[in-house]
Amino acid sequence: MSTASSNWVESNSKNSSNTSQPKSWMQVPGDWRRQYDERVYPIVWDDELGYGRLWPRPTAEEIGASYQLEAYYTHAWQQPGDPTQQSESGIHRWLVAWAWRFDRSIYISADWLRQYQLEGNLDILDIGAGNGRLIDQLRGAGHTVTGIEPDPDARKIATEKQLDIYPGTAENYPAEIQDKRYDVIFMIHVLEHCVDPDKAVQNAVNLLKPNGVLVIETPNNGALGAKMAGRCWRWLDVPRHLNFFTQAGLENLISRSGVVLENREFRGYSRQFKQEWVSNEQMIWQLFSDRLGGAISPYPSARRAFMLLIRSFWRRPELKYDSVRVIARRK
């Protein structure tokens, strides 16, 4: 993404009431996780909706094929760790350590629920539950938790942990949960994968009890890290990601669904400086530069990560963090 296109995204995400036709945002020359896939993926930005979309939309078969990877984060049982304790080398160790000092990421946990007056044994639904890590944690705190997950590899891991998880998507729920109602519904890094985000959100709202809480988190395409990386941003992840939200775009979507926005939170700062993150972006840069026949955007190096640290550590959360979360309540 060029500097000009980055500025264009920031300005247009603040004017989602504009009724103009979707505009070309960027062309992504392939899938970096499946390097044999050399298709060009156009992304358009829709001012009226307030977010970007992969266009044309892929078929169900194409979506399924995009997750057939040797390594994907939901295909293994992983636990998050303190990034300062993970293996880093050279300047990355220094960058992560300094970023951690300014990282105020908010993580979801059983304790986190209490700040939204969610007490006692709650009925919780996790849409796009992945390998069930969140379900497992909340079940351990005494809540009744159910999950929906379309990916059979991720579901297999969850069922091995004896977690209640059913096949389905945010747009098409399994019969087992259609007549139930929930105190809390999570959609954590799910909405960017949905073919129809409006339907996905409305479906979730319809399953909430009165005063129930909907929690949605997506990559934050308004972050400085995204603007500096452009096509090479690790969270772009086309074609698994079909929608590209900023804070304003996500809030605009929520405003159409009949719930009341209570809060917004952010997470994902220090991990942007990890050696693995920068190495992934270097891999993407090399692949895309070769396909486009020339260099694109500044090379994703430790030096550029240092410049991101300098530019971002005192900035507003919507520019600093790689993920944005909204919390809304059904009245």
Tokens 């849409």 belong to residue: 127
Q: How confident is the model at residue 87 (pLDDT cuts 50, 70, 90)?
A: low
pLDDT at 288: 95
- Rounded to whole angstroms, the Cα distance separating 110 from 137 reads 8
Strand partners, 57: none
Q: How many CA within 13 A on the CB side of residue 68?
A: 7
Other CB atoms within a 10 A radius of the CB of residue 121 amount to 10
Q: How confident is the model at residue 11 (pLDDT cuts 50, 70, 90)?
A: very low
The CATH architecture to which 3-65+90-329 belongs is 3-Layer(aba) Sandwich (3.40)
**How many helices (H) and strands (E) are present in the chain, helices listed first?**
12, 11
Strand partners, 243: 53
Q: What is the pLDDT of residues 128-149, one digit of tens each?
A: 999 899 999 999 999 999 999 9
Q: What is the pLDDT of residues 282-323, one digit of tens each?
A: 999 999 999 998 878 889 999 999 999 999 999 999 999 999
**High-pLDDT (> 90) share of the chain, %:** 71
Q: How confident is the model at residue 64 (pLDDT cuts 50, 70, 90)?
A: confident
Domain ranges of the chain: 3-65+90-329
pLDDT at 4: 29
- Rounded to whole angstroms, the Cα distance separating 260 from 229 reads 34
pTM > 0.85: yes or no: yes
Instruction: Tell me the helix, strand and coil percentages in the chain, rounded to 5.
Output: 40, 20, 40
Q: Is 36 exposed, middle or buried (0-12, 13-18, 19+ CB in 10 A)?
A: exposed
- Secondary structure of 86-119 in HEC code, one letter for each residue: CCCCCHHHHHHHHHHHCCCCCCCCHHHHHCCCCC
Question: Three-class SS of residue 59?
Answer: coil
